[in-house]
Amino acid sequence: MKPRILITVICILSCLIGHAQTDSLSLSLRTKQSIENARQLRRLYKTDQAIDTLMAALQYNTSDLEVLTELAECHTSAGNTEEAFGWWVMLSTMQPENLYFQIAQAKLLYREKAYEECINICRGITARDTIPDILAMTGDAYMLAGKTDSALVYYNRFLGMKPFHARTISKKADILLASKKYDEVLEMTGGFLEHEPDNMTVLPIHGLALHLNKKYKPSLEVFEKQLSLGDSTYSIRYYLGLNHYMLDNIIQAEKEFEKAFQIDSSDVMLVYQLADTKSRRLYGNNKETERLYEKALKMLEPDPVMMHNIYGSRAMSFHRAEDFRTAIRYYELSYRYNPKNISALSSIGYCYERMKEYDKALKYYEQYIKAGKPGSKGYKFVEESIAYIKQEKFMEETE
């Protein structure tokens, strides 16, 4: 992104050089009017017209910060990322201490998923001013870049300023739960719920941490409260069922799992739990539990096309590295998922040929010949390979 932005900035500057300044008073009035017109056009989502208006104003004063800022805003609103970034970079060069220009750059980079570059700018901003929203954005960028430890640092700094911000507590909890730090989550969410006991964002997080910490009864009570507040979504029904199940309330567990199943039947764990619950309640198997077990097994079966492609690609990577023995193993797996792809047979034969295991090579080549299309390129290759191997075997026998 950076080389293109540099070109954009150079083009911007080259377009604006060389225009003489006219009478300063009339120019100032004309510029202010242009800016106001452009703002009105931007509010009406006529950003192309607004940009044309501002570019005309720049012909008379190439360094008017107000015009340049409005131009950057217009390109940002229009989604012209590279052009917008170029203008914000130029503005930052003109006023390096202006945090607003740097924040605008960071927001664009975040929007474009350029998280490392976004983090670099955000760190510079937060070193000068602890703006809560920038702390949160830095944490989010670190999170999306896979750097959860650094994300926690910035989430903690944000929560130090806004301790009852439910969305950030949720993000921090995701990191802690993934690390199985359930007690930390309970302490954090418990403190929040003392302040706001009916918060429907934090309450289920608290219930989940209790469940994962094997405190099923209090977890059940939390999810029941969430339900009473009007949240009857899939996850609430699922964890109500799971807590009942762990507390051996099988009938109630089945009811909750059934309600969750009606909302979303695509979760294999739910299908399994529902089947197991029904089996326990009925003390054995029946048509319904058998149907659910079969459904769960089918959901776990891999996509044969994808498995064929993965194993085939992996086989070729070992083939290129001339690790023929390993390549054969993956060619065989690939062929198992798609027996119509007979090119795998010739590839296996070729690998055996390269290892001078001629009998095995002939076996696979002959399988290919039986299924292959005479006259095709692959068929001719295999015919030539068979002839070569037979000649090699004859030479070995006559020596």
What is the CATH number for 384? 1.25.40.10
pLDDT of residue 60: 78
| CB-count exposure of residue 77 (10 Å: 0-12, 13-18, 19+) | middle
Number of domains within the chain: 2
214 within some domain: no
108 within some domain: no
pLDDT of residue 24: 58
CA dihedral 93, 100, 53, 60 (to 10 degrees): -40
74 within some domain: yes
Residue 348 · residue 332 · CB < 8 Å: yes
130 within some domain: no
- Per residue of the chain (399 residues), what is the pLDDT tens digit? 554 554 455 455 554 444 434 455 566 788 888 889 989 999 999 999 999 999 998 887 777 899 999 999 999 999 999 999 999 999 999 999 999 999 999 999 999 999 999 999 999 999 999 999 999 999 999 999 999 999 999 999 999 999 999 999 999 999 999 999 999 999 999 999 999 999 999 999 999 999 999 999 999 999 999 999 999 999 999 999 999 999 999 999 999 999 999 999 999 999 999 999 988 887 666 788 889 999 998 888 888 899 999 999 999 999 999 999 999 999 999 999 999 999 999 999 999 999 999 999 999 999 999 999 999 999 999 999 999 998 888 777 766
pLDDT of residue 21: 43
- Gap between the Cα atoms of 94 and 67, Å rounded: 13
Last residue of a domain, one of 67, 96, 125: 96
Q: How far apart, in Å, do the first and last CA atoms of the chain sit?
A: 66
Q: Which range marks the domain in which residue 26 is found?
A: 1-96
Last residue of a domain, one of 39, 63, 96: 96
Task: Kindly report the CATH number assigned to the domain that includes residue 33.
Answer: 1.25.40
279 within some domain: no
**What burial letters (b/e) apply to 4-34, b meaning 16+ CB within 10 Å?**
ebeebbeebeeebeeeeeeeeeeeeebbeeb
144 within some domain: no
Distance of CA 325 to the CA centre of its chain: 36
- Show the tokens assigned to 168: 């950030």
- Gap between the Cα atoms of 193 and 187, Å rounded: 10
Last residue of a domain, one of 96, 118, 143: 96
Q: Where do runs of H (alpha helix) occur along 232-303?
A: 234-246, 250-263, 268-281, 287-300
What is the pTM for the complete model shown? 0.71
191 within some domain: no
pLDDT of residue 25: 54
125 within some domain: no
pLDDT of residue 332: 95
